[in-house]
Amino acid sequence: RGFFSHFPRYSEILNYMSALAARHPQNCRYESLGRSYEGRHLAALSISLNSRGRDRRVAYIQAATHGREWITPLTVLYLANELLNNLRAFQRVLQDVEIYLVPLVNPDGYEYSFTSDRFWRKNRHRYASRSCFGVDINRNFPNNWNYHGASQNLCSEVYSGTGPNSEPETAAVARYLEYNRHRVKLSLDVHSFGKYLFYPYGYSRNAVAPTRNLLHSVAQRAANQIAKYRGTHYTIGTSAGLLYEASGGLDDYAYGNLGIPMSFTVELPGENFQVAPSDIIHVCKETFAGFIEFIRHVSLY
């Protein structure tokens, strides 16, 4: 069976990533950003035309912050494979750009959603003498932490943790982005579901991003590219306006704290986090067109 016709487990994803890097040693590096609460690797791929030092602009894309969002890592791995197999065709897009991909930000929650609870969202942080587990990694980033749409109840689906960056997964991502903040021009956090492209701010309906017009127009271009494949329609706006207010997300942190000019959360298709295996390839292909459009803008800002 092909890789993009089923939902691979953690170890299969890591094997796929290391095989890609082994097949393209000049253009792809496989590394670990750190480890999850349960000790799994936060595996990453760096893709570029050539190894030209540390001056390239970075397009950062992560997925599976929430365990149950199974389609998300596949779209990121599809992007990696497609770019590496067609480097020449994407020469313009990749010029002076490094693509940095973290397909499984929450490998513990991802694995748990296969073994025990299909709808597991949080990480698997365990608390002494408690029967509830896990922190919502997308409520744990240090931007207006625990302000709205987050909870201090350990059992809540949106438990924000003991403090900003309390979780190893959050801290590893924040550390990478902080260290590279001047190079990172695009941050995409890939989630499911809903067919939305969200830009900051997500924490409050009253917080307006100073560059909201630019963010909206870049997202509109990406949505247009996605729709070309089979007409999939994305709604564009802030998550606070379209869905709910929720603070501590990667998008707000990347934009508000680090000054990353293009920061978005993508909500892929798939009602109730379910995508038919035969549909995976189509979601990957349409999303690929959107990713490329976002990445196109990296050299402009």
Residues of this chain that bind ligand 0X9 (CB under 6 A): 66, 138, 191, 198, 202-203, 239, 246, 249, 251-252, 265, 267
Say which entry of ligand 0X9, Zn ion, none residue 290 contacts (CB below 5 to 8 A, set by partner kind): none
| 8 Å CB contact between 20 and 30 | yes
> At closest approach, how far in Å is the CB of 200 from ligand 0X9?
7
Whose Cβ is closer to Zn ion: residue 27's or residue 146's?
146
Residue with tokens 């896990």: 134
With CA atoms as reference, report the closest residue to 144 among 214, 233, 246: 246
139 lies in the site for Zn ion, by CB under 5 A: no
Diameter of the chain by CA atoms?
A: 56
Whose Cβ is closer to ligand 0X9: residue 46's or residue 143's?
143
Say which entry of ligand 0X9, Zn ion, none residue 107 contacts (CB below 5 to 8 A, set by partner kind): none
> At closest approach, how far in Å is the CB of 154 from ligand 0X9?
18
Whose Cβ is closer to ligand 0X9: residue 69's or residue 98's?
69
**Alpha-carbon span 82 to 105, nearest angstrom:** 21
> At closest approach, how far in Å is the CB of 157 from ligand 0X9?
9
> At closest approach, how far in Å is the CB of 265 from ligand 0X9?
4
66 lies in the site for Zn ion, by CB under 5 A: yes
**Alpha-carbon span 288 to 226, nearest angstrom:** 8
Cα 84 to chain centroid, rounded: 19
Angle at 216 between CA 215 and CA 220, to 5 degrees: 120
Whose Cβ is closer to ligand 0X9: residue 111's or residue 252's?
252
Say which entry of ligand 0X9, Zn ion, none residue 246 contacts (CB below 5 to 8 A, set by partner kind): ligand 0X9
Whose Cβ is closer to ligand 0X9: residue 169's or residue 252's?
252
Number of helices followed by number of strands (H, E) in the chain: 9, 8
DSSP state of 146: T
Alpha-carbon distances of 279 from 70, 92, 297, rounded to whole Å? 13, 30, 28
Say which entry of ligand 0X9, Zn ion, none residue 111 contacts (CB below 5 to 8 A, set by partner kind): none
- Could you give the residue numbers annotated as active site? 267
| Burial class of 171 by CB neighbour count within 10 A (0 to 12, 13 to 18, 19+) | middle
Report 170-229 residues binding Zn ion (CB under 5 A): 191
> At closest approach, how far in Å is the CB of 115 from Zn ion?
20
| 8 Å CB contact between 80 and 13 | no
Residue with tokens 């956090």: 189
Q: Which residues bind Zn ion (CB under 5 A)?
A: 66, 191
